[in-house]
Chains A and B, each alone.
Chain A
């Protein structure tokens, strides 16, 4: 690839009708400064991302290159832009960027260079970190990795807002023939207090558009914020209480047909034969479409398509995977863990030699199962192929990647494909790139029905049985304490990537952390908080076990191992404080604590549990969070609350098991989710450390399972080492 050179690529231009459009191109990231960089060959101009428009009527439009799936990113990013612009929040609106290369946000991934920060997992399968395969990065327009606010917001939206503000001031100063330094901005106007003159941004936008954008726009310090840091109501909420919010599944195109699909129950099998005659004469049924590994029925309504599909008896090819089940897969993982092949994740000191002479050593094996995302909106996509064009309406976490999937499936070039991204009825990783099989299917079916548009809707059964599952992992742990009851050895080995999720925040001198490879025919993907969802449980359960082995109180034990990590320790202390850790809980209840850093944020949770009718009842959860700085406190709180419930579903409620090569569960009757009666009271508090911004969409998830497991141990004396927890 070409050499990157530092050059400003904030670019401004005029809007039709006399406004200002402003964009920021590739962003350079260094630990202590934000710069702007550009590729020397000029291609970078094509990667320009337009983030801001100011119209003559003084309306500011923020263009957000991320999807909204309830995480509040449309509001938070717009707030960050409006703040630096000094805009009147009532005069700001938001548009989601279209799925076009100019809105690629793959450069955000570059901000998360290994060693500088944590690597968002969603980029892993696209990014060769050794060489930065930029072309792949530029295919991304991704929302994942808890990266939108700390990436696009911090590095992009603020810069765009600040640059526009600088230009508007300059335009006003020229118009009034006064020094720039005498002008101020407030509520979408530039003011010159000395002469009591003011002009709205809309009035100045056309002049500002003729100016050169600043290279390093001045950004505000947090104490000057009037929008960021305030609990601004989310802009997407009003439409979500009256049924008017439109999701992918709600798309209606004139002449639209409906399809539903049944893919091979055993992953890897192909469609054999299917006899379409039983449904040939059913009213409204249009066609049986054979795909490589699935059969679909197209009809004039979803219900007719579903009824017809359920009448068919397709055969699928035999595969050796049909003999697999959860037990055989666990045995395979077990063999891998016993093998000689492993990848070192981290080591220090000499763990193997030290454990032999330690005062006390323990070992434990933990297991977590596959998990489905189970977004409330089942997978769906609507596609139309006509006149050498392909149009797709769907809700995905990466519309550019989905457009590529549609191009491949239709046989057209990407520039012949238009993808209209819709609001997502849940994402959690299911709608990330690499998991857009429903888009591929919809386009292939639409090709058969061209020029009619076809809406493909998966049944819930299809959704549960054809997910890209949270990987099942087995972790084996060994640890030891010395004669002073201090932990000195931490040895772990597990299947999967592990990566930074497997690191231990505690001061333990001798460590050996290793991962082994495990492949299976079961499709695997990113599940909210990715590897932290497994490793949070493993690490925080085993440190609890070490505390008990050392005869120490588990909170004090952890706290004593965090001298070197003051932010972690402060979070742990805050969680203990707000939960009243030192005071005894009500009779029959006990508390557990856990601390996990993920996606740049540190979260400690305390869970208070009781055993009711042989089941674990979580009454209360207290969470302390350090994500650096909180952009929207109410949305941030909601993300932690939601993360706790999401994590609780894995901790106590559900699992995906494999039988005869296929997923055994099929709907919410056998893959149950927590209900309101199961939801604990949750109290969330933030620490404003002003450290680098961390994510919030995922970090609430990992600590809850170990917090509950540790509470169950405190209550019953029984250490439960597999999820979902059972007593």
Chain B
């Protein structure tokens, strides 16, 4: 069937079976390969995207079910800015190792910060349940706190960019 998807602020029309997970439509139909396949059962979070600004695991959401909703992938997170505050913090703290899980981690962290601008360690533990096999958790925690600080200091361009784009199209 033909699906109408709003991805990173653009209307996209794709042909896919109704039950195709959003993950595979993003990766194979739209060539947005920054969103990764890890488990297929929503257990690892490598496929995390934003749906209307909230983190969601795209391997277990039929693409047909999110037509008309604002879908943001790692490629669109910065929303026109060079980098989102979370991406910047990820570089400053040299978080990624193999990097495969990090798109999902960054999307999960950005979603957390959008809801909770100053998360505690307990908030991070509760909200960030993505898996990283390289074991970068210590740096992820540090980078989330750093991103929160940068956003509170006024470095909010990237997050605003994403929200405004979603508001404009959504």
Contacts and interface: CB of A to CB of B under 8 A. Distances in A.
Interface in A224-263: 233-234, 236-247, 249-250, 252, 258
A48 interface: no
Interface string B129-141: 1111111111111
Nearest to A668: B43
Contacts of A377: 36, 38, 98, 100
B43 to A, nearest CB: 4
A310 B35 CA distance: 24
Interface string B12-30: 0000110111001001100
Interface string B95-123: 11111111100100000000000000000
B105 to A, nearest CB: 9
A676 B124 CA distance: 8
A244 B102 CA distance: 11
A88 to B, nearest CB: 21
A375 interface: yes
A267 to B, nearest CB: 23
Contacts of A241: 83, 87, 90-91, 95-96, 102, 106
A677 B120 CA distance: 12
Interface in A477-517: none
Nearest to B33: A250
Given A234-B94, A242-B87, A682-B138, A303 B133 contact: no
B102 A240 contact: yes
Contact of A667 (B43, B137, B141): B43
B70 to A, nearest CB: 17
Nearest to A634: B94
Contacts of A246: 33
A460 B45 CA distance: 13
B32 interface: yes
Interface stretch (A108-116, A215-223, A420-428, A595-603): A420-428
Most buried by B among A236, A237, A252, A283: A237
A376 interface: yes
Contacts of B36: 247, 249, 376-377, 425
Interface in A629-643: 634-635, 638, 641-643
A245 B99 contact: yes
Interface in A388-405: none
Interface string A419-453: 00001111110000000000000000000000000
Interface string A668-681: 11000111110101
Given A252-B31, A667-B41, A675-B129, A376 B135 contact: no
A457 interface: yes
A668 B20 contact: no
B136 A642 contact: yes
Interface stretch (B72-80, B149-157, B162-170): B72-80
A70 B90 contact: no
Given A243-B73, A302-B28, A377-B100, A643 B91 contact: no
B125 interface: yes
A375 B133 contact: yes
Contact of B100 (A247, A307, A642, A682): A247
Contacts of A659: none
A642 B33 contact: no
A424 B96 CA distance: 13
B20 A303 contact: yes
B21 A376 contact: no
A674 B96 CA distance: 17
Interface residue tally of chain A, by bracket?
35 or more
Contacts of A674: 135, 137
B68 interface: no
Contact of A243 (B32, B94, B138): B32
Contact of B99 (A375, A425, A634, A679): A425
Contacts of B75: 242-244
A710 to B, nearest CB: 21
A625 to B, nearest CB: 15
B39 A641 contact: no
Interface in A68-114: 69-72
Contact of A641 (B41, B96, B135): B135
Given A301-B24, A303-B17, A668-B131, A641 B136 contact: yes
A646 interface: yes
Most buried by A among B35, B36, B74, B134: B134
Contact of A676 (B83, B97, B125): B125
Given A243-B32, A376-B133, A378-B38, A237 B98 contact: no
A239 B135 CA distance: 19
Given A250-B33, A460-B41, A376 B128 contact: no
Contacts of B100: 247, 375-377, 425-426
A692 B45 CA distance: 41
A575 interface: no
Nearest to A640: B135
B17 A669 contact: no
Interface in A104-159: none
B34 A242 contact: yes
Contacts of B124: 676
B46 interface: yes
A243 B74 contact: yes
Contact of B94 (A237, A374, A460): A237
Contacts of B94: 233-234, 237, 634-635, 638
B97 A70 contact: yes
A721 interface: no
Interface string A174-187: 00000000000000
Contacts of A646: 133-135
A250 B74 CA distance: 14
B40 interface: yes
Given A240-B102, A303-B21, A376 B38 contact: yes
Contact of B83 (A71, A242, A459, A643): A242
Contacts of A301: 16, 20, 24, 28
A568 interface: no
9 contacts: A241-B102, A242-B34, A242-B75, A242-B77, A244-B34, A303-B24, A375-B98, A638-B97, A645-B137
Given A643-B135, A645-B134, A679-B135, 9 more contacts: A238-B91, A240-B99, A243-B33, A243-B34, A376-B133, A638-B94, A648-B135, A667-B43, A674-B137
A-B complex: 9 closest residue pairs judged by Cβ atoms = A243-B34, A645-B135, A70-B97, A425-B100, A240-B99, A70-B98, A679-B137, A677-B125, A243-B74
